[in-house]
């Protein structure tokens, strides 16, 4: 059933990325000798997570503490994750789908294992108010723990954008979506992450429509808006490829995930080559999303998966992850352990006022998803 449900709603799935980053190659090389005294020691945990989305130290520490070896693959769009899962028997023990639409769809399809809270004592570290927010995708919070959350917005190379658009306030999707602005930014490089699921809601909202609309006229309006800027867009690429290119100054505007922009900002500062990156959370309403730690129903090693979730929900581990990837977590006791500059950055931890200007996506019908995917393909093709 899952296979059919997902296949029916799939947008063009990209090839799955399975190459671990250098950091992981290193962490994996340090895999510990199995300790027979530890339950699960000597087994392998297969993790499928977003790219640039964990602290490599957390991976090596889990391996050292438990004797469980981690095999780690990455994806960088929900379309890719759904494509992998729809093929069936993914072989993964941990996946990290966004609460809407992918996680909700997996919950409904019976494709996830209920979490055994007795094995996850750190469950209670999560903020009940945030758990409540994701309960609409998972009544009773039975199938997922909150990993990290964030928004969708614009990464900008501040000096270039200021120079190209001296009179434009840098607080709205207008910077990219007004065709005249896009035209003026074309030379310094515009990139849009390749995901209908995670881009169309923001464009609909920018057009003053319901971001979750399934109305054909609304979708046409969003598509027209995208096509109007298409001649000025240099790249529609995987989100994972945007971060480095933004950090090195290859693009001056990128529509992507908040923490990816803040990571690019940190990398650019480290490189000290005069590239200053900023993040714009669109004032007309930014998409707020939550990524969930979940276990596929057919996971080969569910015990190790529960141990991993429990480990990640530790405040010290979570703080390390937030420090590294610049996305906020849902564990209040982790916050004091997060570096001050990260903790006080409103683009990482949005203020209540900023949260008030967000919206969340909801699940769409398979038919609506297909219509969105067709629109997206026309945007990609430029016609």
Residue placing its CB nearer to ligand N2P in the complex, 50 or 62: 50
| Residue of 2, 40, 47, 50 that binds ligand N2P (CB under 6 A) | 50
Residue placing its CB nearer to ligand N2P in the complex, 239 or 375: 239
* 143 sits near ligand N2P (criterion: CB under 6 A): no
* 260 sits near ligand N2P (criterion: CB under 6 A): yes
Is residue 182 within 8 Å of 161, Cβ to Cβ?
no
Structure tokens at 294: 């979940």
Give me the 265-294 binding string for ligand N2P, x by CB under 6 A, dash otherwise. Answer: ------------------------x-x---
289-328 residues near ligand N2P, rule: CB under 6 A: 289, 291
Is residue 175 within 8 Å of 254, Cβ to Cβ?
no
* 53 sits near ligand N2P (criterion: CB under 6 A): yes
234-253 residues near ligand N2P, rule: CB under 6 A: 239
As a whole number of angstroms, the distance between CA 1 and CA 209 comes to 33
67 SS3 class: coil
- Report the nearest approach of ligand N2P to the CB of residue 225 (Å): 22
Sign of CA dihedral 111, 115, 119, 120: positive
Q: What is the DSSP string of 28-51?
A: HHTPPPP-TTSTTTT-EEEEEEET
Which among 44-52, 213-221, 225-233, 278-286 is the span making contact with ligand N2P, rule CB under 6 A?
Answer: 44-52
Which among 19-27, 51-59, 79-87, 276-284 is the span making contact with ligand N2P, rule CB under 6 A?
Answer: 51-59
Residues for the chain: how many in total? 383
- Report the nearest approach of ligand N2P to the CB of residue 165 (Å): 27
Applying CB under 6 A, the site for ligand N2P has a residue count of 10
Which among 49-57, 163-171, 184-192, 364-372 is the span making contact with ligand N2P, rule CB under 6 A?
Answer: 49-57
Residue 335 DSSP one-character state:
G
Q: What is the DSSP string of 100-126?
A: IIIIHHHHHTT-BPPP-GGG-GGGGGS
- Report the nearest approach of ligand N2P to the CB of residue 289 (Å): 5
Beta strands in the chain (DSSP E): 44-50, 69-75, 94-95, 145-157, 190-193, 235-237, 253-257, 277-280, 286-293, 358-359
Q: 128-140 as b/e, with b when 16 or more CB fall inside 10 Å?
A: eebbebbeebbee
- Report the nearest approach of ligand N2P to the CB of residue 257 (Å): 5
Closest by alpha carbon to 155, among 259, 309, 33?
Answer: 259
* 257 sits near ligand N2P (criterion: CB under 6 A): yes
As a whole number of angstroms, the distance between CA 209 and CA 221 comes to 9
Structure tokens at 18: 């399975």
Residue nearest to ligand N2P as judged by C-beta position: 50
Residue placing its CB nearer to ligand N2P in the complex, 50 or 206: 50
- Report the nearest approach of ligand N2P to the CB of residue 242 (Å): 9
Which among 47-55, 87-95, 309-317, 333-341 is the span making contact with ligand N2P, rule CB under 6 A?
Answer: 47-55
Give me the 85-124 binding string for ligand N2P, x by CB under 6 A, dash otherwise. Answer: -------------x--------------------------
Closest by alpha carbon to 149, among 326, 342, 352?
Answer: 326
Residue placing its CB nearer to ligand N2P in the complex, 55 or 260: 260
- Report the nearest approach of ligand N2P to the CB of residue 259 (Å): 6
* 75 sits near ligand N2P (criterion: CB under 6 A): no
| Residue of 51, 265, 347, 375 that binds ligand N2P (CB under 6 A) | 51
Q: What angle do CA 308, 84, 238 make, to 5 degrees?
A: 95
Which residues form the interface with ligand N2P (CB under 6 A)?
A: 50-53, 98, 239, 257, 260, 289, 291
């Amino acid at each position: 059933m899952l296979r059919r449900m997902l296949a029916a709603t799939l947008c063009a799935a990209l090839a799955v990325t399975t190459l671990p980053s250098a950091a992981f190659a290193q962490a994996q090389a340090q895999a510990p000798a199995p300790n027979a005294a530890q339950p699960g020691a000597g087994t392998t945990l297969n993790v499928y997570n977003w790219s640039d989305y964990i602290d490599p130290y957390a991976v090596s520490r889990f391996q050292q503490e438990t004797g469980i070896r981690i095999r780690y693959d990455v994806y960088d769009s929900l379309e890719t994750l759904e494509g992998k899962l729809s093929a069936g028997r993914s072989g993964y023990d941990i996946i990290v789908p966004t609460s809407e639409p992918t996680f909700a769809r997996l919950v409904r399809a019976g494709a996830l294992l209920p979490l055994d809270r007795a094995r996850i004592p750190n469950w209670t570290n999560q903020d009940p108010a945030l758990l409540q927010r994701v309960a609409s995708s998972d009544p009773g919070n039975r199938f997922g723990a909150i990993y990290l959350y964030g928004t969708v917005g614009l990464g900008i190379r501040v000096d270039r954008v200021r120079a190209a658009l001296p009179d434009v306030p840098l607080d709205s999707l207008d910077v990219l979506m007004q065709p005249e602005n896009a035209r003026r930014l074309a030379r310094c490089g515009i990139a849009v992450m390749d995901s209908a699921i995670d881009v169309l809601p923001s464009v609909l909202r920018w057009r003053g429509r319901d971001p979750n609309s399934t109305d054909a006229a609304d979708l046409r309006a969003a598509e027209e808006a995208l096509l109007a800027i298409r001649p000025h867009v240099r790249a529609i690429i995987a989100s994972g490829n945007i971060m480095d290119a933004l950090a090195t100054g290859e693009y001056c505007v990128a529509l992507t995930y908040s923490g990816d922009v803040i990571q690019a900002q940190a990398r650019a500062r480290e490189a000290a080559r005069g590239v200053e990156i900023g993040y714009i959370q669109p004032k007309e309403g930014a998409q707020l999303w939550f990524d969930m730690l979940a276990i596929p129903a057919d996971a080969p090693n569910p015990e190790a998966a529960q141990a991993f979730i429990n480990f990640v929900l530790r405040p010290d581990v979570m703080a390390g992850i937030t420090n590294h990837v610049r996305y906020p977590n849902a564990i209040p006791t982790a916050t004091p352990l997060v570096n001050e500059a990260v903790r006080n950055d409103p683009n990482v931890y949005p203020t209540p006022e900023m949260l008030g200007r967000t919206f969340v996506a909801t699940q769409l019908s398979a038919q609506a998803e297909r219509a969105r995917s067709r629109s997206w393909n026309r945007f990609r093709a430029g016609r």
